[in-house]
Amino acid sequence: MLAVLNWRDLKHPDAGGAEVVCERLARSFAGRGYEVVVLTSAVRGERQRETVDGYSIVRRGGRFTVYPWALLWLALHRNQIDGVIDSQNGIPFFSPLVVKPRTPVLMLLHHIHQEQFAHYFSPNMARVGRWLERYGSRSVYRRRTIVAVSPSTRARARRTLGLKGDIVVVPPGTDAVVSTLALRRRRSEHESIVCVGRLVIHKSIASIIEAIPSLLTEFPRIEVHLVGDGPERLSIEALVESLGLAEHVVLHGSVSSSERDRILHTAWLAVNASEGEGWGLSVIEANAVGVPVLAYRRPGLRDSIRDGVTGWLIEEDQELSSAIADALKQLRDEEAASALGVKSRQWASQFTWEKMADRMLALLAAERGRLAQSPNNRRTTTDLATVVRMPVDLIPDGLVPTFRDTDLSEIGEVDLVVLLRSTDTDAARSALERAGLSTRGTVDKRIDISVARHIDLVSPTIPATATPGSSGHLPENSITG
């Protein structure tokens, strides 16, 4: 049995990206024949236990009491549990305290909440939350494997939380169907901006609304579409009314995936003003239909947006309204906008739930081997990773190169690309030799072994020349990358 722990499920009125990730993983695991149970908090009007898409949902407790309820359930079923996905939304469930010592546990870390606790709790409760996220997590999870959804989250988990275990980057998939429509989307005749996400304080939706008045002179028919709902809706409606923007701002509320994609198809640009994200599911959803995304260079967003290729990243001192204006002026060129849409869809097509499920299952297997002291899954202490690219004609006939469970490899028509985690360039040569791939003599000149970049941790198959230098500005030629 695989247990997936998350404080909410998709039927919770405050459900967001973390809930999408956990339930899509549960669905993928169940589709492969695993018995899966999602432990989450109770929702008014919903059953305490039900089966959805082949997996079970058990709902107990509230915002805080869901944690002891989940621990009690794990303790009572510890003999049946083969693995745990422990989702940290501010604080994790501390599941290693009650499962068997050799049961593999992966902490799924979306983003760091140290600054956000103050938005939602009293000063004393915020201090408790910060302590649990940092010192509590570090004490309980120790050398356990952490799954971070982006390189930004990985870096902050190490630096801010001081987590000592292996931290692996596994980006989420997307529900959006990558557009197969003609390259020229049927976007609206006049400029249209879309913002997808929950209406909560840290998403900074108000800053997008406040940027609109200064845009009206040049874009008098501009529209802003807000897709999503949340506790900030009333204040946003009041702000729209006070600024006289009722004709320019449309609040759609929570909508289906198909309706969200329909709205995105008409948009020129997506804007994300969040204080930071774990990854940015809405970024990939927009890219999937060919819509570029503009955001500040903040955690998560700087990983899901390829600056100048699938959107733009702006610096903290840049005015949001001027950045939006610059982007919209470039997007008036339909040829350039179409080219940017192609690159956006190519980027989004790499992220699927099946790929994420593959990685999570491989990491559970590696963690199980480590806990059993398997020599094939030895723990290392370096955060360094290496990318190897070599022509496929260097692979001996009949050989299928194999690497560790936690490595990534892909054989294309031209090259073999391998991401070797916890490996420096010298150790990478040894890994290739063990896999039956010679690095000696003249062959060595055709093999590229380099230290992994941030983008390699997300998608190692992106060519080294695909990401231009990032200035944070909007150069005139940045549309075409």
Spatial strand order of the sheet with 36-40 comes to 49-52, 55-59, 36-40, 2-5, 83-88, 105-109, 145-148, 167-169
Where the chain has pLDDT below 70, the residues are 177, 179-185, 374-382, 441-444, 463-481
Residue 199 and residue 146: Cα distance in Å, rounded? Answer: 29
Residues 415 and 315 in one domain: no
User: What confidence score (pLDDT) does residue 481 get?
Assistant: 28
For residues 264 and 282, the answer to whether their CB atoms sit within 8 Å is: no
Summarised one tens digit per residue, pLDDT across range 299-341 is 999 999 999 999 999 999 999 999 999 999 999 998 899 999 9
Residues 343 and 391 in one domain: no
For residues 404 and 386, the answer to whether their CB atoms sit within 8 Å is: no
Residue 308 and residue 468: Cα distance in Å, rounded? Answer: 7
Written as one letter, the residue type at 39 is L
pTM attached to this predicted model? 0.84
User: What confidence score (pLDDT) does residue 276 get?
Assistant: 86
Chain CA centroid to CA 163, Å: 19
For residues 417 and 452, the answer to whether their CB atoms sit within 8 Å is: no
Residue 434 and residue 402: Cα distance in Å, rounded? Answer: 9
Residue 359 and residue 26: Cα distance in Å, rounded? Answer: 13
How many domains in the chain? 3
In a domain, 41, yes or no: yes
Domain with 254, as residue range(s), is 192-351+470-480
In a domain, 174, yes or no: no
Q: What's the sign of the alpha-carbon dihedral 324, 171, 204, 190?
A: positive
Residues 329 and 201 in one domain: yes
The residue assigned the tokens 């600024």 is 243
User: What confidence score (pLDDT) does residue 480 get?
Assistant: 28
Boundary residue ending a domain (107, 136, 169): 169
Beta strand 269-272 with 192-196 is: parallel
Boundary residue ending a domain (137, 169, 201): 169
For residues 429 and 444, the answer to whether their CB atoms sit within 8 Å is: no
Residues 144 and 202 in one domain: no
In a domain, 378, yes or no: no
In a domain, 371, yes or no: no
Boundary residue ending a domain (134, 169, 204): 169
User: What confidence score (pLDDT) does residue 185 get?
Assistant: 60
In a domain, 368, yes or no: no
Residues 67 and 165 in one domain: yes
List the structure tokens of 326.
């610059």
In a domain, 228, yes or no: yes
For residues 109 and 146, the answer to whether their CB atoms sit within 8 Å is: yes
Residues 266 and 401 in one domain: no
Residues 202 and 347 in one domain: yes
Whichever domain contains 35, its CATH number is 3.40.50.2000
Residue 234 and residue 249: Cα distance in Å, rounded? Answer: 14
For residues 128 and 149, the answer to whether their CB atoms sit within 8 Å is: no
List the structure tokens of 400.
């299928």
Residues 14 and 158 in one domain: yes
In a domain, 95, yes or no: yes
Residues 447 and 476 in one domain: no
User: What confidence score (pLDDT) does residue 180 get?
Assistant: 55
In a domain, 68, yes or no: yes
Residues 160 and 218 in one domain: no
User: What confidence score (pLDDT) does residue 179 get?
Assistant: 61
Phi, psi torsion values for 87, nearest 5 degrees? -85, 125
Residues 234 and 342 in one domain: yes
Residues 474 and 329 in one domain: yes
Q: CA geometry: angle at 26 spanning 23 and 31, to 5°?
A: 130
Q: Label residues 129-164 b or e (16+ Cβ within 10 Å = b).
A: bbebbbebbeebbeebbbbbbbbbbbbbbbeebebe
